[in-house]
Structure 1
Amino acid sequence: MAEFLHEFLNLKALGIETGTYVLIGSIFLLLLTGLPLAFVTGLVALIFTFGWFGPMALPLVTARIYGFVVEYSLVAVPMFVFMASLLDRSGIAKDLFNTMRLFAGRIPGGVAVQTLFVAFFLAAMSGIIGGEIVLLGILALPQMLRLGYNRNIAIGVCCAGGALGTMVPPSIVLIIYGLMASVSIADLFVAAVTPATILMLSYVAYVLIRCHLNPDLGPGLPPEEANQPWSVKLKAMKSVILPVMVAMMVLGSIYGGIASVTEAAAMGVFGVLISIIIRREFTFDLINKAVVQTMNTCGMIVWIGIGAATLVGVYNLMGGTRFVSAAILGMGTSPEVIILAMMGILLILGLFLDWIGIAMLCLPIFVPIVVQLGYSPIWFGILFCVNMQVSFLSPPFGPAAFYLKGVAPPDISLKDIYMALIPFICIQLCVLALLLFFPQISMWML
């Protein structure tokens, strides 16, 4: 079969330029058939391996797969996913939301604002996005709709707030980027803190301004709920102690240089397990469901990673990286225009592909060019994360909308969700532009 592919296709005769167009076209053509991205990239990689190098090139594929699966940094991914799965199924997030709700008061838009703060804090505990959006859709969305919030604001806050996990350390996106770009994940975490905070505060400012101009868009809590005595509020604050300690243990150990990201992830899992035991919520059913969810999520990440790593490895051996680099650098345009073109490519791909596939396919090509242009790969990693924020919300395949649709009231359609997300996508693009033109915003702490 391999000999047949080599003789019949003889892809090497096409040359690297035509071969690049055929490779990209094959990927998108196969994606239209409905095949998963992992199988598409793996199939195209095998076809080009045998069609370009011949039947003896199989070790090229196996070497790339082995190099990917033995990467030590990947161990942090299932740890953080498992931690998020435990949070999903315990009452920690619910108690945290209810506690913050007591402090929202009667300020117009107060419940939406405290939802964003809770989302930010949950992201700092786990770095997983889908589960957080589902959590907010179950906890916060019904509360805001009950209080008479404008539906677009309530939907947008849940989706945009839940997607903050892309940026807030310990973000899985940052971990994968660090792995692909061969840069310090701890430095990426430090660089992401300020941009993530700016993004969250931009959402808060948008909600407060709109609700200040029109208080009917976000009514405050009723007096009987808002005017709780301080004794009740202080008692409720007890539920915040354990999650705060877990977050400090994970991020503090990383920023303090006490533990690596992988070790901190293991500490986070241990902290959440202890918290669940202290809260008397530990059951074998909870652990079983969390483990199953972790295996499903990590299986998807690993399979997409294997397919994309193989494809990129084969393309590199074909001379593809040199061809793309020479083509981009030979355009005669300024470095700023090249970076803007990369941002445009990432935004367009984000409309159709999962972030993992985008990272695996684009970063091995883009990052060396960024470094050659004299830019910091850490700064580019922050730009990449903001791009992926946009991809989580943007139609037609924005996963945030599908996550929320699964738990939203039946009268809320996907169209309603996407329309509600437009202002938040605009905010993300504004923050992306800010980071593009003022790199020191993300680099000042390094």
Structure 2
Amino acid sequence: MKLRKELWFGFTLMALILAGIAVVLGRAETITNGHIGLLMLALIVVAIMLGFPTAFTLMGMGMIFTWLAYERDTGKTLDLMVQSAFKVMSNDVLISIPLFVFMGYLVERANLIEKLFKSLHLAMARVPGSLAVATLFTCAIFATATGIVGAVVTLMGLLALPQMLKSGYDIRLSAGAITAGGCLGILIPPSVMLIVYGATAGVSVVQLYAGAFFPGLMLAGLYVLFVIGVALIKPGWAPPLAPELRTVRLPLATARFAEGAQRALPALLQALKGRRNADVPTGHLLRQLAVVLLPALVFALVAVGAHRVVTAPAAGPAPAIEGLTELGAAGDAGGLAEPPAGGLEEPPGSADLSEPPGAEALGEPPGAEAAPPADPATAAAAAAAPPAEAQARSAPRGYWIGVGTGAVALLAFYALLSFQRLEIFKMLLSSFFPLMALIMAVLGSIVFGLATPTEAAAVGALGGFVLAAAYRQLTFNVVKESVFLTAKTSAMVCWLFVGSAIFSSAFALLGGQELVEQWVLSMNLTKTEFLLLSQVLIFILGWPLEWTEIIVIFMPIFVPLLDHFGVDPLFFGLLVALNLQTAFLSPPVAMAAFYLKGVSPPHVTLNQIFAGMLPFMGIQIIAIALLYAFPAIGLWLPQLLYR
């Protein structure tokens, strides 16, 4: 029987892992529990590569090796399993996972992706490689709203791949754009992967979301620049759209008065007061005009709101309380002074201490008789007088620059807005902006501290309901399928956590963690060398393993070493999040390739899909290097908001 290349690769990799462990055990003078822990780690990787379920493999291996670590004490082994499961299930952070997943499945079944892709590729018709660029934008937006890589890649494979192939796009470029864009959902918040890393490494999920926002946008931008560059250098790989694919059919009522009009706004205003609207209902004209004026209205509201914020009076000092004065205001020392240099001494005459004189000897302190009595009328007038109003601040130069830039952009929008573009804008209003509103509501409430991730996930689930209802897709079957798939995915993640907790406990009991730390510390690595070593290992592990397995198995090994090398766990998590994109794009596992192959035409081979994914893997490495060279890309927003 002839084996496929990917099977040969997998078996070879497993053989290398086992051979490496055999060499380590063979060179050891004595086999310690730490070596047994390394053997357990190797067997876990091999078993997962052979196709065994990850969660139950972790639990099974963990219990077997825990039993060995406890010297065959069954009671302690069962106690550890129960305690690990209880600790995981009582983690509040994990509550947000089923809610985010449920939101994703509802949005997926609202059938927004077809309208979103069509409106985006029409809006970008003049951009080189417009179909591939629109595919990346659609994947990024839809993957952000759903977070389900398989669903996004499958739907875009059904929707975008035939259209790109029909337009003459290269198979490799088309496949690479779909698979790379579909994987952005595991990086751009709200991402389940960041929740899993935060719960594993003990890092705030809120800060991870804020930190991953700009790296995710940077990676998506690099993808788009690569596609545009390929389209400019090799136009045959991404030819321009045919004229019939750029045009939009106008509604009949609009076509009656739009003929020959270059700009939509003047034509609508003229139609309202002229004879051209004789056959067009006034209500239709007013609705079109409302859509045209919507950007101007939004711009005015944003400008006025921002002006109120930047010109709000500064908070003044707290009002003084009557009777309190500054320390040292009436004294000669000017406040608190150091005691005399001679040190503390007994007061003079301490040996003859006696009771104070009688009450008749007590008098007012000196100067008290000089204070005039308070006038009741004056005091009442002072109490009734309104406080002095704080003066409003003038708007800073940055505000006016922003308003001027927005005004210029708004004028350019109306100068270029034809009736064809108006129809495209209306398509965007019904597909792009609802999703963006949902995403920004969820992310904004988390990043700005208005809600916890769990509360924001509940808002997102409600938003998914509203979107599905608005697009008339909220049926009993849709809700039932979404609930079933949510329960299935959430159970998988939670069992992974339970298995990881048991496995990590067994690994620590056997001394494997200590052995790994001693090995790493013995190399006397610098911070840069440690980060390079860890990222290379994660990159290699991304070939045979998925991101869930890498996080729950190997992050508990790397995280304890971060303090020694002075690495911020938040920054390390962002590097890992970028690196874990390779888990979906690197053969032989590369699940995104298999999702796409399952829905692609027969002439599209798996090797062509793999070849198309390789340049995007190179872009991921560039993104990791940029994040390391400029950490502010990921750390600026969390530091601005929370530190």
Structure 1 length-normalised TM: 0.93
8 Å contact 2:541–2:550 — kept in the other structure?
yes
Q: CA deviation at 1:14?
A: 4.1
2:86 is matched with 66
Asked if residue 304 in structure 1 is aligned to residue 324 in structure 2, the reply is no
Deviations 1:142-182 (CA, angstroms, capped at 9, x unpaired): 22112111111111000000001121011111111111111
2:480 is matched with 288
1:38 is matched with 55
Asked if residue 105 in structure 1 is aligned to residue 296 in structure 2, the reply is no
Asked if residue 151 in structure 1 is aligned to residue 151 in structure 2, the reply is no
1:180 is matched with 200
> Higher helix fraction: Structure 1 or Structure 2?
1
Q: CA deviation at 1:224?
A: 2.6
Q: Distance in 2 between matches of 1:368 and 1:137?
A: 41
1:373-388 matches, within 5 Å, as 373-388=565-580
2:406 is matched with none
Say which SS state the counterpart of residue 257 (structure 1) adopts.
coil
Q: Distance in 1 between matches of 2:437 and 2:628?
A: 34
1:9 is matched with none
Q: Distance in 1 between matches of 2:453 and 2:504?
A: 26
Residue type of the alignment partner of 1:266: A
Asked if residue 411 in structure 1 is aligned to residue 610 in structure 2, the reply is no
Q: Which has the larger radius of gyration?
A: 2
8 Å contact 2:104–2:464 — kept in the other structure?
no
Say which SS state the counterpart of residue 444 (structure 1) adopts.
helix
Q: How many correspondences in the alignment?
A: 434
Match among 44, 48, 55 for residue 74 of structure 2 = 55
Match among 35, 38, 41 for residue 21 of structure 1 = 38
Asked if residue 135 in structure 1 is aligned to residue 326 in structure 2, the reply is no
Distance 1:434 1:29, change over 3 A: same
Q: CA deviation at 1:412?
A: 1.6
Deviations 1:88-113 (CA, angstroms, capped at 9, x unpaired): 22212221111112202143301111
8 Å contact 1:174–1:185 — kept in the other structure?
yes
Asked if residue 359 in structure 1 is aligned to residue 379 in structure 2, the reply is no
Q: CA deviation at 1:433?
A: 2.0
1:200 is matched with 220
Q: CA deviation at 1:33?
A: 4.4
Residue type of the alignment partner of 1:55: T
Q: Distance in 2 between matches of 1:213 and 1:252?
A: 39
1:4 is matched with none
Q: CA deviation at 1:125?
A: 1.8
2:583 is matched with 391
8 Å contact 1:123–1:169 — kept in the other structure?
no
Q: CA deviation at 1:216?
A: 1.8
Q: CA deviation at 1:29?
A: 4.1
Residue type of the alignment partner of 1:56: G
8 Å contact 1:119–1:132 — kept in the other structure?
yes
1:10 is matched with none
Say which SS state the counterpart of residue 581 (structure 2) adopts.
helix
Deviations 1:223-270 (CA, angstroms, capped at 9, x unpaired): 133244123113212213321221121111111211111111111110
Q: CA deviation at 1:382?
A: 0.8
Identity %: 35
Deviations 1:347-399 (CA, angstroms, capped at 9, x unpaired): 12111112111101111121121133111111110111111101110000011
Deviations 1:271-318 (CA, angstroms, capped at 9, x unpaired): 111111122121111111222222222222222222122100222233
Residue type of the alignment partner of 2:74: P
Structure 2 length-normalised TM: 0.65
Residue type of the alignment partner of 2:608: D
Q: Distance in 1 between matches of 2:606 and 2:573?
A: 30
Q: Distance in 2 between matches of 1:316 and 1:380?
A: 22
Asked if residue 261 in structure 1 is aligned to residue 453 in structure 2, the reply is yes
Match among 175, 185, 210 for residue 190 of structure 1 = 210
Q: CA deviation at 1:127?
A: 2.5
1:334-353 matches, within 5 Å, as 334-353=526-545
Q: What residue ranges of structure 2 are gaps of 5+ in the alignment? A: 1-29, 249-419
Q: Distance in 2 between matches of 1:166 and 1:346?
A: 16
2:429 is matched with 238
8 Å contact 1:88–1:135 — kept in the other structure?
no
Residue type of the alignment partner of 1:327: W
Distance 1:49 1:144, change over 3 A: same
Larger RCO of the pair (alpha carbons < 8 Å, separation 6+): 2
**Which moves more between the two structures, 313-322 or 40-49?**
313-322
